[in-house]
C-alpha cells in the first residue's frame, strides 16, 4: 500500500511540477491542491486532518527533491558523455 502511494505521488510530482522551480516552496499552492485532489479518488484523504495533510506535503516534497536530483544527474551525465568536437 505504501509503495502504491509512493508511485502515485511520484507520478503526480513528475507530471505537475516544473523542474526549473528551485525548491518545493516554489510550487504554487494551487498546484499542490490539484495534486491532492487527483490523489483523492484512489485514497481516503481527509483534508481536515492536519497530520495527514502534513504527511502528504512531506511526501510530495521528497518526491520533488528526487525529481530535481534525477534531472540534474541526467544533465551532468549528458555533459560528461558528450563527444568532443575536434576542429
Residues 8 and 82: their CA atoms lie apart, in Å, by 34
Q: Can you give the pLDDT at residue 16?
A: 85
Q: Per residue of the chain (87 residues), what is the pLDDT tens digit?
A: 567 777 788 888 888 888 788 888 888 899 999 998 888 878 888 888 999 899 889 989 999 998 889 888 888 888 766 666 665
Q: Can you give the pLDDT at residue 4?
A: 75
Q: Can you give the pLDDT at residue 43?
A: 85
Q: Residue 27 gets which letter from DSSP?
A: S
Q: Can you give the pLDDT at residue 86?
A: 61
Amino acid at each position: 500500500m505504501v509503495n502504491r502511494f509512493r508511485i502515485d505521488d511520484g507520478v503526480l510530482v513528475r507530471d505537475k511540477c516544473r523542474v526549473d522551480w528551485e525548491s518545493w516552496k516554489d510550487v504554487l499552492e494551487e498546484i499542490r491542491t490539484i495534486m491532492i485532489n487527483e490523489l483523492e479518488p484512489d485514497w481516503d484523504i481527509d483534508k481536515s486532518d492536519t497530520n495527514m495533510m502534513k504527511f502528504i506535503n512531506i511526501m510530495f516534497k521528497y518526491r520533488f527533491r528526487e525529481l530535481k536530483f534525477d534531472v540534474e544527474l541526467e544533465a551532468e551525465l549528458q555533459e560528461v558523455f558528450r563527444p568532443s568536437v575536434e576542429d
